[in-house]
Copies of this chain bind each other. A is one copy, B any other.
Amino acid sequence: MTRFDITILGCGSAMPTTLHNPPSQLVELNEKLFMIDCGEGTQLQMRKYKTRIGKLQALFISHLHGDHIFGLPGLISTLSMLGRTDDLHIYAHREIELLLKPLLIYMGQHMSFKIELHPLNAGKKEVIYENKTFQVSSFPLKHRVNTNGFLFEEKEAPRHIIREMINYYNIPVREIAAIKAGADFITDNGTLIPNHILTRPPSPPRRYAYCSDTAYAPEIIPYIKGVDLLYHEATFAESELSRAAETYHSTARQAAEIAAAASVKKLLIGHFSSRYNELETLLHEARAVFSDTELADEGKIVSL
Protein backbone atom coordinates (compact mmCIF):
# COMPACT_ATOMS: atom_id res chain seq x y z
CA MET A 1 0.00 0.00 0.00
CA THR A 2 1.34 3.42 -0.89
CA ARG A 3 2.14 5.89 1.85
CA PHE A 4 -0.65 8.18 3.08
CA ASP A 5 0.86 10.12 5.98
CA ILE A 6 -0.17 13.25 7.81
CA THR A 7 2.67 15.11 9.59
CA ILE A 8 1.78 17.82 12.08
CA LEU A 9 4.16 20.80 11.79
CA GLY A 10 2.15 23.08 14.06
CA CYS A 11 -1.07 22.65 16.04
CA GLY A 12 -1.23 25.87 18.01
CA SER A 13 -3.57 28.75 17.28
CA ALA A 14 -3.29 32.51 16.74
CA MET A 15 -0.77 33.15 19.49
CA PRO A 16 2.33 30.97 19.19
CA THR A 17 3.77 29.51 22.38
CA THR A 18 6.84 27.56 23.33
CA LEU A 19 4.63 24.45 23.27
CA HIS A 20 2.94 24.76 19.90
CA ASN A 21 3.75 26.30 16.52
CA PRO A 22 1.18 28.03 14.33
CA PRO A 23 -0.91 25.73 12.12
CA SER A 24 0.63 23.72 9.34
CA GLN A 25 0.67 20.11 8.29
CA LEU A 26 1.94 17.93 5.48
CA VAL A 27 0.02 15.26 3.61
CA GLU A 28 2.17 12.73 1.78
CA LEU A 29 0.11 10.69 -0.61
CA ASN A 30 1.37 8.36 -3.33
CA GLU A 31 4.83 10.00 -3.42
CA LYS A 32 3.41 13.51 -3.60
CA LEU A 33 3.78 16.04 -0.81
CA PHE A 34 1.12 18.65 0.00
CA MET A 35 0.93 21.30 2.68
CA ILE A 36 -2.17 22.51 4.48
CA ASP A 37 -1.79 25.98 6.00
CA CYS A 38 1.55 27.65 6.56
CA GLY A 39 1.96 29.56 9.82
CA GLU A 40 5.14 31.42 10.75
CA GLY A 41 8.10 29.09 11.17
CA THR A 42 6.68 26.31 8.98
CA GLN A 43 9.84 26.02 6.88
CA LEU A 44 11.86 25.73 10.11
CA GLN A 45 9.55 22.91 11.24
CA MET A 46 10.01 21.16 7.89
CA ARG A 47 13.75 21.15 8.47
CA LYS A 48 13.40 20.04 12.05
CA TYR A 49 11.34 17.02 11.03
CA LYS A 50 13.49 16.36 7.95
CA THR A 51 10.62 16.57 5.47
CA ARG A 52 11.50 16.73 1.79
CA ILE A 53 10.85 20.39 0.99
CA GLY A 54 11.77 19.84 -2.67
CA LYS A 55 8.90 17.39 -3.13
CA LEU A 56 6.21 19.95 -2.29
CA GLN A 57 3.53 19.92 -4.98
CA ALA A 58 0.87 22.28 -3.73
CA LEU A 59 -0.32 24.29 -0.76
CA PHE A 60 -3.88 24.37 0.51
CA ILE A 61 -4.66 27.42 2.65
CA SER A 62 -7.85 27.13 4.70
CA HIS A 63 -8.28 30.86 5.33
CA LEU A 64 -6.35 34.10 5.48
CA HIS A 65 -5.78 34.60 9.19
CA GLY A 66 -2.14 35.38 9.93
CA ASP A 67 -1.42 32.24 11.92
CA HIS A 68 -2.26 30.18 8.80
CA ILE A 69 -0.23 32.16 6.24
CA PHE A 70 2.66 34.11 7.77
CA GLY A 71 5.10 31.30 6.91
CA LEU A 72 4.48 31.68 3.17
CA PRO A 73 7.04 34.40 2.36
CA GLY A 74 9.87 32.47 4.02
CA LEU A 75 8.87 29.16 2.45
CA ILE A 76 8.52 30.66 -1.04
CA SER A 77 11.82 32.49 -0.72
CA THR A 78 13.62 29.34 0.43
CA LEU A 79 12.13 27.24 -2.40
CA SER A 80 13.46 29.85 -4.81
CA MET A 81 16.92 29.84 -3.20
CA LEU A 82 16.90 26.05 -3.56
CA GLY A 83 16.38 26.58 -7.29
CA ARG A 84 12.88 25.14 -7.65
CA THR A 85 11.63 25.42 -11.23
CA ASP A 86 8.27 23.60 -11.08
CA ASP A 87 5.20 25.79 -10.65
CA LEU A 88 3.96 25.94 -7.08
CA HIS A 89 0.19 25.59 -6.88
CA ILE A 90 -1.52 27.48 -4.08
CA TYR A 91 -5.20 26.84 -3.37
CA ALA A 92 -6.51 29.73 -1.29
CA HIS A 93 -9.12 32.45 -1.18
CA ARG A 94 -8.52 35.04 -3.86
CA GLU A 95 -7.68 37.82 -1.39
CA ILE A 96 -4.34 36.11 -0.71
CA GLU A 97 -3.14 38.06 -3.76
CA LEU A 98 -3.04 41.18 -1.57
CA LEU A 99 -0.29 39.55 0.48
CA LEU A 100 1.45 37.52 -2.24
CA LYS A 101 1.74 40.22 -4.90
CA PRO A 102 4.07 42.57 -2.98
CA LEU A 103 6.20 39.54 -2.07
CA LEU A 104 6.50 38.56 -5.71
CA ILE A 105 7.25 42.16 -6.75
CA TYR A 106 9.86 42.25 -4.01
CA MET A 107 11.45 38.96 -5.10
CA GLY A 108 11.22 39.98 -8.76
CA GLN A 109 13.80 38.37 -11.00
CA HIS A 110 15.17 36.30 -8.08
CA MET A 111 12.08 34.10 -8.21
CA SER A 112 13.09 30.77 -9.75
CA PHE A 113 9.56 29.40 -10.23
CA LYS A 114 6.00 30.51 -10.88
CA ILE A 115 3.14 30.55 -8.40
CA GLU A 116 -0.16 29.35 -9.77
CA LEU A 117 -3.03 30.59 -7.63
CA HIS A 118 -6.28 28.60 -7.60
CA PRO A 119 -9.07 30.52 -5.86
CA LEU A 120 -11.20 28.51 -3.44
CA ASN A 121 -14.98 28.51 -3.55
CA ALA A 122 -16.17 29.41 -0.06
CA GLY A 123 -19.77 28.55 -0.88
CA LYS A 124 -19.79 24.88 -1.82
CA LYS A 125 -17.84 21.65 -2.10
CA GLU A 126 -15.60 21.38 -5.15
CA VAL A 127 -12.93 19.01 -6.42
CA ILE A 128 -9.85 21.24 -6.63
CA TYR A 129 -7.07 18.73 -7.45
CA GLU A 130 -7.25 15.39 -9.19
CA ASN A 131 -4.91 12.80 -10.60
CA LYS A 132 -5.10 9.10 -11.48
CA THR A 133 -5.05 7.80 -7.92
CA PHE A 134 -6.57 10.47 -5.67
CA GLN A 135 -8.38 13.79 -5.48
CA VAL A 136 -8.64 16.74 -3.12
CA SER A 137 -11.87 18.64 -2.48
CA SER A 138 -12.52 21.81 -0.57
CA PHE A 139 -15.72 22.49 1.33
CA PRO A 140 -17.03 25.41 3.41
CA LEU A 141 -16.42 25.64 7.14
CA LYS A 142 -18.00 28.16 9.52
CA HIS A 143 -15.56 30.82 10.71
CA ARG A 144 -15.30 34.61 10.98
CA VAL A 145 -13.90 34.86 7.47
CA ASN A 146 -14.24 32.63 4.39
CA THR A 147 -12.76 29.31 5.44
CA ASN A 148 -12.55 25.94 3.70
CA GLY A 149 -11.86 22.44 4.88
CA PHE A 150 -10.05 19.92 2.69
CA LEU A 151 -10.78 16.29 1.88
CA PHE A 152 -8.06 14.02 0.50
CA GLU A 153 -9.55 10.88 -1.08
CA GLU A 154 -7.93 7.95 -2.80
CA LYS A 155 -9.79 6.70 -5.84
CA GLU A 156 -11.06 3.14 -6.02
CA ALA A 157 -8.00 1.10 -7.07
CA PRO A 158 -8.21 -1.76 -9.62
CA ARG A 159 -8.36 -5.30 -8.18
CA HIS A 160 -5.04 -6.98 -7.38
CA ILE A 161 -3.90 -9.78 -9.68
CA ILE A 162 -3.08 -13.05 -7.89
CA ARG A 163 0.22 -13.84 -9.59
CA GLU A 164 0.06 -17.59 -8.87
CA MET A 165 -3.30 -17.95 -10.64
CA ILE A 166 -2.09 -16.03 -13.70
CA ASN A 167 0.82 -18.49 -13.95
CA TYR A 168 -1.41 -21.51 -13.25
CA TYR A 169 -3.81 -20.66 -16.09
CA ASN A 170 -0.96 -19.39 -18.28
CA ILE A 171 -2.82 -16.11 -18.93
CA PRO A 172 -1.20 -13.91 -21.61
CA VAL A 173 -0.02 -10.42 -20.63
CA ARG A 174 -2.47 -8.74 -23.00
CA GLU A 175 -5.40 -9.96 -20.84
CA ILE A 176 -4.08 -8.59 -17.52
CA ALA A 177 -5.51 -5.06 -17.77
CA ALA A 178 -9.01 -6.39 -18.47
CA ILE A 179 -8.77 -8.86 -15.58
CA LYS A 180 -7.63 -6.09 -13.21
CA ALA A 181 -10.69 -4.14 -14.34
CA GLY A 182 -12.93 -7.13 -13.44
CA ALA A 183 -13.10 -9.36 -16.55
CA ASP A 184 -13.29 -13.15 -16.30
CA PHE A 185 -10.91 -15.35 -18.33
CA ILE A 186 -11.73 -18.15 -20.77
CA THR A 187 -9.07 -20.86 -21.17
CA ASP A 188 -8.09 -22.45 -24.49
CA ASN A 189 -10.45 -25.36 -23.78
CA GLY A 190 -13.38 -22.98 -23.18
CA THR A 191 -13.51 -23.08 -19.36
CA LEU A 192 -14.58 -19.77 -17.75
CA ILE A 193 -12.43 -18.75 -14.78
CA PRO A 194 -14.38 -16.13 -12.82
CA ASN A 195 -12.54 -12.92 -11.94
CA HIS A 196 -12.70 -13.49 -8.18
CA ILE A 197 -10.47 -16.58 -8.59
CA LEU A 198 -7.84 -14.50 -10.38
CA THR A 199 -7.89 -11.33 -8.29
CA ARG A 200 -8.22 -9.98 -4.77
CA PRO A 201 -10.22 -6.85 -3.97
CA PRO A 202 -8.12 -3.70 -3.64
CA SER A 203 -7.57 -2.02 -0.28
CA PRO A 204 -10.50 0.29 0.36
CA PRO A 205 -9.75 3.90 -0.64
CA ARG A 206 -8.46 5.97 2.28
CA ARG A 207 -9.79 9.42 3.14
CA TYR A 208 -8.52 12.29 5.26
CA ALA A 209 -10.45 15.43 6.21
CA TYR A 210 -9.03 18.69 7.62
CA CYS A 211 -11.44 21.02 9.40
CA SER A 212 -9.81 24.12 10.86
CA ASP A 213 -10.76 26.80 11.80
CA THR A 214 -14.46 26.28 12.40
CA ALA A 215 -17.27 26.78 14.83
CA TYR A 216 -19.36 23.70 15.66
CA ALA A 217 -21.00 23.09 12.28
CA PRO A 218 -23.10 19.94 11.79
CA GLU A 219 -23.62 21.00 8.17
CA ILE A 220 -20.08 19.77 7.38
CA ILE A 221 -20.92 16.17 8.37
CA PRO A 222 -21.97 15.05 4.86
CA TYR A 223 -18.56 16.17 3.50
CA ILE A 224 -16.54 14.11 5.95
CA LYS A 225 -18.78 11.08 6.46
CA GLY A 226 -16.80 7.94 7.33
CA VAL A 227 -13.30 9.31 6.71
CA ASP A 228 -10.38 7.29 8.09
CA LEU A 229 -9.01 10.34 9.87
CA LEU A 230 -10.63 13.64 10.77
CA TYR A 231 -8.46 16.56 11.92
CA HIS A 232 -10.85 18.94 13.64
CA GLU A 233 -9.94 22.08 15.51
CA ALA A 234 -10.50 22.02 19.28
CA THR A 235 -9.36 25.46 20.33
CA PHE A 236 -11.10 25.40 23.71
CA ALA A 237 -12.18 23.25 26.62
CA GLU A 238 -15.87 23.03 27.47
CA SER A 239 -15.46 25.71 30.14
CA GLU A 240 -14.89 28.20 27.31
CA LEU A 241 -17.97 27.17 25.33
CA SER A 242 -19.31 30.70 24.98
CA ARG A 243 -15.89 32.06 24.03
CA ALA A 244 -15.73 29.32 21.35
CA ALA A 245 -19.09 30.42 19.94
CA GLU A 246 -18.11 34.12 19.94
CA THR A 247 -14.85 33.48 18.10
CA TYR A 248 -16.25 30.83 15.71
CA HIS A 249 -14.06 28.11 17.15
CA SER A 250 -14.92 24.69 18.58
CA THR A 251 -14.49 22.98 21.92
CA ALA A 252 -12.91 19.53 22.09
CA ARG A 253 -16.29 18.02 22.92
CA GLN A 254 -17.87 19.66 19.87
CA ALA A 255 -15.08 18.26 17.66
CA ALA A 256 -15.84 14.81 19.06
CA GLU A 257 -19.58 15.25 18.43
CA ILE A 258 -18.87 16.01 14.78
CA ALA A 259 -16.57 12.96 14.60
CA ALA A 260 -19.23 10.71 16.13
CA ALA A 261 -22.05 12.04 13.96
CA ALA A 262 -19.89 11.59 10.84
CA SER A 263 -18.88 8.06 11.88
CA VAL A 264 -15.23 8.75 11.20
CA LYS A 265 -12.68 6.10 12.14
CA LYS A 266 -10.32 8.34 14.10
CA LEU A 267 -10.25 11.93 15.34
CA LEU A 268 -7.16 14.11 15.73
CA ILE A 269 -7.75 17.38 17.57
CA GLY A 270 -5.58 20.50 17.30
CA HIS A 271 -5.46 24.31 17.00
CA PHE A 272 -5.12 24.55 20.75
CA SER A 273 -5.54 27.92 22.46
CA SER A 274 -2.33 29.33 23.94
CA ARG A 275 -4.03 29.38 27.35
CA TYR A 276 -3.55 25.61 27.80
CA ASN A 277 -0.25 24.37 29.16
CA GLU A 278 -1.53 20.84 29.27
CA LEU A 279 -4.18 19.27 27.09
CA GLU A 280 -5.49 16.38 29.19
CA THR A 281 -8.78 18.19 29.82
CA LEU A 282 -9.40 18.64 26.09
CA LEU A 283 -8.51 15.01 25.37
CA HIS A 284 -10.70 13.78 28.22
CA GLU A 285 -13.68 15.89 27.13
CA ALA A 286 -13.37 14.68 23.53
CA ARG A 287 -12.92 11.00 24.44
CA ALA A 288 -16.05 11.07 26.59
CA VAL A 289 -17.95 11.55 23.30
CA PHE A 290 -15.66 9.83 20.78
CA SER A 291 -13.16 7.38 22.24
CA ASP A 292 -10.81 7.10 19.26
CA THR A 293 -9.49 10.64 19.70
CA GLU A 294 -5.85 11.71 19.79
CA LEU A 295 -4.12 15.00 20.44
CA ALA A 296 -2.13 16.54 17.62
CA ASP A 297 1.46 17.41 18.47
CA GLU A 298 4.37 18.90 16.55
CA GLY A 299 6.24 16.13 14.73
CA LYS A 300 3.43 13.59 15.12
CA ILE A 301 2.87 11.44 12.04
CA VAL A 302 -0.41 9.61 11.48
CA SER A 303 -0.26 6.95 8.76
CA LEU A 304 -3.52 5.86 7.15
Quick check: B40 and A21 within 8 Å, CB to CB? no
Copies, count: 2
Quick check: A81 and B16 within 8 Å, CB to CB? no
Pairs A–B under 8 Å by Cβ, sample size 9: A15-B78, A16-B78, A17-B47, A40-B71, A66-B77, A67-B77, A70-B77, A98-B102, A99-B103
Main secondary structure of the interface of A (DSSP, over half): helix
CB-CB under 8 A for A15 and B81, given A41-B41, A41-B44: yes
- Is A158 an interface residue when CB atoms closer than 8 A count as contact? no
Of A44, A47, A103, most buried by chain B (CB within 10 Å of CB) is A44
Q: Which residues of B lie under 8 Å from residue A74 when comparing CB positions?
A: 16, 22, 40, 66, 70
User: Among B73, B81, B105, which residue has its beta carbon within 8 angstroms of that of A70?
Assistant: B73
- Is A136 an interface residue when CB atoms closer than 8 A count as contact? no
Quick check: B40 and A16 within 8 Å, CB to CB? no
A38-75 residues with Cβ-Cβ distance < 8 A to B are 40-41, 43-44, 47-48, 64, 66-67, 70-71, 73-74
Bound-state Cα–Cα, A40 to B66, Å: 13
Known A-B contacts: A18-B48, A22-B74. Give 5 more (CB < 8 A). A14-B77, A14-B81, A40-B40, A41-B41, A70-B77
